[in-house]
Structure 1
Amino acid sequence: MQLDSNQISQILPHRYPFALVDRITDGEEGSWARGIKCVSVQEPVFQGHFPTYHVLPGVMIIEALAQVAAVAMLAEPEHRGKIGFLGAVKNARFKRQVRPGDVMEMESRIVRTRGNFAFVEGRASVDGQLAATVELTLAFGSNETSDR
């Protein structure tokens, strides 16, 4: 599986400034995906994190890994048109800062599924150096609006 940003936007509902995956470079629907994010100083998050020392926040790295996993799941025909919601974050570990100019390589593996839930192991790295690891639970739901 290889997808560019236009193809990703057909699968994920995220849009600027919260579309955090630039490309899917490899993967298998329903099993795993590998993607990249090219980190730019022009991203809005760097206006406040931190103005004099730009570092991509850990929560953004986790969200990017969740989006990579969601692409793997939502690319499957039975999940097309759904939204992946972040249900749980466990054992997040940050080993290296991710800064403007970095190409963050991400891999998310679906460890198991249960109904509309996927249990995921994610890893992010830069230049072959581990930046972060995390265990995620994603819940897949309807893409319909509600009055609630």
Structure 2
Amino acid sequence: MSLLSAQQVMDIIPNRYPIFFIDKVEELTPGEHIVCYKNVTINEPFFQGHFPGEPVMPGVLIVEALAQAGSIPLLTLPDFEGQTAYLGGLNKVKFRQKVVPGDVLRLQVDIIKLKKFAGIGYGQAFVGDKKVCEVEMTFIIGR
């Protein structure tokens, strides 16, 4: 069951095709936690060049998907509603496995610190039960 659809997510974050990576939100606790999904299909524009004959989702786009996911718990807080969460920094990024067409990315982000106009989130991306990526992200909230 979906808590938020892709269209409802677009009401919260400014990203649009071809750089919109949230298909549905399954769990959401504003200011704290999110679990959402990205269906990886062969029709993604980045597969045309990454890599012909062996399509692999670029790691930087997995991190972008986690950043989009992590912005949602922040932007659903009343103080930040209608604003934008910018990615301010990345730490401890690790890639553990390729992501290919047909995979479903489960994106989980926990907000571990929240200040006046900034937050730190710990994100993990999974395909099935296998962790494919983890990252610590800093978000800056602004207009």
Shorter-chain TM-score range = over 0.9
Q: Any residues of structure 2 matched to 1:23-34 within 5 Å, and which?
A: 23-34=24-35
Give me the TM-score of the superposition, normalised by structure 2. 0.96
| 1:53 aligns to 2:54 (yes or no) | yes
What aligned pairs does 1:41-120 form with structure 2 within 5 A after superposition? 41-120=42-121
Aligned mates of 2:140, 2:134 — CA distance in 1: 20
Aligned counterparts of 1:26 and 1:70: Cα–Cα separation in 2: 14
Residue identity in the other structure for 2:18: P
The CA deviation at 1:2 is 1.6
1:11 is displaced (CA, Å) by 0.2
CA distance in 1, matches of 2:92, 2:16: 28
Q: Deviations over 1:80-132 (max 9, x none)?
A: 11111110011100111111000000100000111111101000000111101
Distance across 1 between alignment mates of 2:86 and 2:53? 33
**Partner amino acid, structure 2, of 1:59:** V
Shift of residue 76, structure 1, vs aligned partner: 1.4
**Pairs aligned (count):** 142
CA–CA separation in structure 2 for the residues paired with 1:131 and 1:24: 19
Shift of 1:77: 1.7
Q: Which runs of 5+ in 1 are unaligned?
A: 143-148
Task: State the 4+ residue runs in structure 1 displaced beyond 3 angstroms.
Answer: none
RMSD: 1.0
Return the alpha-carbon distance in structure 1 between the equivalents of residues 96 and 117 of structure 2. Answer: 31
What is the one-letter code of the residue matched to 2:138?
T
Task: Give 1:8's aligned residue.
Answer: 9
The 3-state SS of whatever aligns with 2:136 is strand
Q: Tell me the secondary structure at the aligned position of residue 99 of structure 2.
A: coil
Match of 1:146 in 2: none
CA distance in 2, matches of 1:86, 1:51: 30
TM-score by length of 1: 0.93
Name which of structure 1's ranges 9-18 and 70-79 shifts more when overlaid on structure 2: 70-79
